[in-house]
Amino acid sequence: MDIELMINSFPKLLNATLITLKLLSVSLILGLFIGLGFAILRMNNNKLINKFAYGYSYIFRGTPLLVQIFIIYFGLGQIEYLRTTFLWVVLKEPYWCAIIAFSLNTGAYTSEILRSAFQTIKTGYLEAGKSLGIPSKIIFTKIQIPIAIKQSLPAYGNEIILMLKGTSLASTVTLMDLTGVAKYIISTTFKPVEVFIVAGGIYLFMTFIIHNVIKYLEKKYGFQT
């Protein structure tokens, strides 16, 4: 056990954790909007729109995240047309490619979580809102969304942790996130166990915090339906 290496690599790994957290928070926020959009499309009565939203979530949940990142990072650059548009500014940066892939991926899972949350809302609440003469837009934003958020908290907490682990794939497109730096230290020192303990410890600490924050929110907003 090389304690010195563990102490020396700790600040480097901690620095890389910032990139991991940045990737995680940006893609979660974007993914939440994407997920909400597709959840609404999924509940649309039009069959075509419904199928489209289902296909999106099926494809992104049925393929590995690694394939998605590689298609966006290596694949899209191949389309000549894209290189001439402003999108190229975004797509040539591995950072943004990773964020696009993560957001689309977490968006697909979030849309499923939100859809099932929306569908379990008792029709009585909506009917009560309607009979009070509340416009349907306000029913949606003031009744449906808050209840759906409460009901999807446990599942969404799991999704945040899965996404935290997913950000490690950013290291495959040259980003130096926590896993990327850990791999670099391992491959230069050949001390995998020590580095794994430190990097794994940082990941576990983050998982622990997320888990407890979600638990706290569940308690605070939790209610019986």
From 44-52, 72-80, 94-102, 126-134, give the range in contact with other proteins by CB under 8 A. Answer: 72-80
Q: Are 222 and 146 in contact (CB under 8 A)?
A: no
Spatial CB neighbours of 142, under 8 Å, sequence gap ≥ 6: 134
Between 139 and 195, name the residue whose CB sits nearer to other proteins.
Answer: 195
Nearest to 17 by CA among 202, 161, 170, 197: 202
- Give the number of other CB atoms < 10 A from CB of residue 49: 14
**Which run of H or of E encompasses 41?**
helix 3-42
From 26-34, 88-96, 117-125, 157-165, give the range in contact with other proteins by CB under 8 A. Answer: 157-165
Residues 160-199 that bind other proteins (CB under 8 A): 161, 164-169, 171-172, 179, 182-183, 186-187, 190, 192-193, 196, 199
- Give how many residues touch other proteins by CB under 8 A: 40
Spatial CB neighbours of 52, under 8 Å, sequence gap ≥ 6: 41
Beta carbon of residue 56, minimum distance to other proteins (angstroms, whole number): 13
Spatial CB neighbours of 89, under 8 Å, sequence gap ≥ 6: none
Beta carbon of residue 50, minimum distance to other proteins (angstroms, whole number): 19
Beta carbon of residue 22, minimum distance to other proteins (angstroms, whole number): 16
Q: Could you say which of 66, 138, 209, 213 contacts other proteins (CB under 8 A)?
A: 66
Beta carbon of residue 186, minimum distance to other proteins (angstroms, whole number): 5
Asked whether position 70 contacts other proteins by CB under 8 A, the answer is yes
Q: Could you say which of 59, 138, 209, 213 contacts other proteins (CB under 8 A)?
A: 59
What string of DSSP letters covers 91-137? HT-HHHHHHHHHHHHHHHHHHHHHHHHHHTS-HHHHHHHHHTT--HH
Q: Are 214 and 153 in contact (CB under 8 A)?
A: yes
> Nearest-5° angle of CA 14, CA 25, CA 40?
160
Residues 79-118 that bind other proteins (CB under 8 A): 79
Residues 194-223 that bind other proteins (CB under 8 A): 196, 199-200, 203-204, 207-208
Query: Interface with other proteins by CB under 8 A: which residues?
Result: 58-59, 62-68, 70-71, 74-76, 78-79, 161, 164-169, 171-172, 179, 182-183, 186-187, 190, 192-193, 196, 199-200, 203-204, 207-208
